């Protein structure tokens, strides 16, 4: 049934911890029957008397409510938009390809891997989705801001940010230089801070959004030779929970994924003898595939994962339970 909006009033209640603003409206069906509905705050500033839409029934703790969803806005909203950092190769590449297959338009990013990044964007266009490659070093606040601005200019919004860019500089702590420490923290942890800070203000304006941070099993259990890397990944887990708490009231869901050892160039760089020993420790007896991480990112990014925030999901073949 199609309903027409005949009047509405925006109700703003910006009271912490839950900034639950909404609009109340009166709609009329094709037979002239009127009813009161609630309208989501993401439609604020976009409502027009006479616009048509549908009514969805939402179950809440206080019972069922009728929620009006304007059609024209739905059409204008278009496909969801994802920014995936470090998506020129490995896990990030698998994530953008899977998201594109699921209907997302995507921003492919790397700091300097432009040839591969442009190639991934071309692969996505072949799937039939829109994609742009934007070069930006996540550890550099200014380049991140420019990347997010370019994204808004091209797509008008950001529905999903996947903080995936990461590097390693492995050495036992006593041999690790301050530079090795700083560089890994700057890319892996400060990079997540920069991208989240820049993208979240747009999500707050939209009244919804999702952030998925790629941490690591070693952020939970530590690892020989990875003081910098494991500290950065442990930091991502704590940052995820904090940003999730701060933004749940704005319908922005923030989660982390902690992969085990996944077949990418990051793992290929580890000596074969060590990888053999690692595989012996994995109950499933094998490395993971980038697609096995991407599939879970796609689930969290989907509307099926609407009540999950502040969590850390292990994808590690049983290495850490
Ligand atoms: P990868 O080396 O194939 O990919 C890393 C990506 O990050 C590349 O696209 C690279 O260009 C990009 N990148 C590097 N520095 C950047 C910067 N400063 N700014 C923007 N982009 C940058 O490695 P991967 O294995 O696919 O790693 C992806 C993520 O998954 C990383 O965060 C990594 O720590 C994490 N992870 C990987 C494994 C694994 O076993 N491969 C396990 C756990 C977590």
Q: Which of 259, 183, 275, 169 is nearest to 218 (CA)?
A: 259
Q: What is the pLDDT of residues 145-195, one digit of tens each?
A: 999 999 999 999 999 999 999 999 999 999 999 999 999 999 999 999 999
Whole-number pLDDT of residue 218: 98
SS3 (DSSP) at 128 = coil
Task: Point out which residues pair with 110 in neighbouring strands.
Answer: 135
| CA dist., res. 316 & res. 216, Å (int) | 9
Model confidence at 14, pLDDT cuts 50, 70, 90, reads: low
Task: Establish whether residue 213 lines the binding site of ligand 1, counting it when its CB lies within 6 angstroms of any ligand atom.
Answer: no
> Does residue 294 have its Cβ closer than 6 Å to ligand 1?
no
What are 221's two structure tokens? 């259990």
Predicted TM-score (pTM) of the model is 0.84
Per-domain residue ranges for the chain?
Answer: 3-75, 78-315
**Residue 211, Cβ neighbours under 10 Å: how many?**
27
Distance of CA 165 from the midpoint of ligand 1 (Å): 5
Statement: residue 21 has pLDDT above 70: no
Question: Using a 6 Å cutoff on CB, does residue 255 contact ligand 1?
Answer: no
Could you say which architecture CATH assigns to the domain 3-75? Beta Barrel (2.40)
Instruction: Give the nearest ligand 1 atom to 262 CA.
Output: 40
Q: Which fold has domain 78-315?
A: Rossmann fold (3.40.50)
What residue owns the CA closest to ligand 1's atom 34?
166
* Nearest residue to 158 via CA among 197, 200, 124: 200
Rounded Cα distance between 176 and 218, Å, is: 17
Q: By mean pLDDT, which of 204-213, 238-247, 258-267 is the weakest? A: 204-213
Contact 91, 120 (CB under 8 A): no
Enzyme catalytic residues: 229
Per residue in 254-307, pLDDT (tens digit) is 999 999 999 999 999 999 999 999 999 999 999 999 999 999 999 999 999 999
């Amino acid at each position: 049934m199609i309903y027409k909006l005949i009047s509405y009033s925006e109700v703003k209640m910006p009271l912490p911890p839950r900034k639950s603003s909404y609009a109340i409206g009166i709609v009329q069906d094709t037979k002239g029957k009127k009813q009161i509905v609630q309208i989501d705050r993401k439609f604020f500033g976009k409502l027009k008397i006479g616009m048509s839409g549908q009514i969805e029934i939402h179950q809440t703790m206080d019972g069922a409510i009728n929620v009006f969803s304007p059609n024209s806005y739905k059409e204008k909203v278009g496909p969801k938009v994802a920014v995936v950092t470090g998506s020129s190769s490995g896990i990030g590449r698998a994530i953008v390809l899977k998201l594109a297959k699921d209907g997302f338009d995507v921003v492919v990013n790397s700091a300097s891997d432009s040839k591969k990044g442009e190639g991934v964007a071309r692969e996505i266009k072949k799937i039939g989705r829109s994609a742009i490659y934007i070069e930006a070093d996540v550890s550099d606040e200014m380049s991140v801001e420019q990347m997010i601005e370019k994204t808004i200019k091209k797509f008008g919004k950001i529905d999903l940010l996947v903080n995936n860019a990461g590097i390693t500089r492995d050495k036992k702590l006593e041999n690790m230089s301050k530079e090795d420490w700083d560089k890994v923290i700057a890319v892996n942890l400060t990079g997540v801070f920069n991208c989240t800070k820049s993208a979240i203000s747009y999500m707050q304006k939209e009244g919804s959004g999702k952030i998925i941070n790629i941490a690591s099993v070693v952020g939970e259990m530590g690892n020989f030779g990875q003081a910098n890397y494991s500290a950065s990944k442990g930091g991502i887990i704590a940052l995820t929970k904090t940003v999730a708490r701060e933004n749940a009231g704005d319908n922005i869901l923030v989660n982390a994924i902690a992969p085990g050892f996944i077949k990418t160039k990051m793992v290929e760089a580890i000596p074969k003898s060590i990888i053999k020993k690692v595989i012996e420790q994995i109950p499933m007896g094998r490395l993971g595939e980038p697609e096995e991480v991407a599939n879970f990112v796609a689930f969290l990014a989907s509307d099926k994962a609407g009540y999950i925030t502040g969590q850390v999901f292990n994808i590690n073949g049983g290495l850490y339970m």
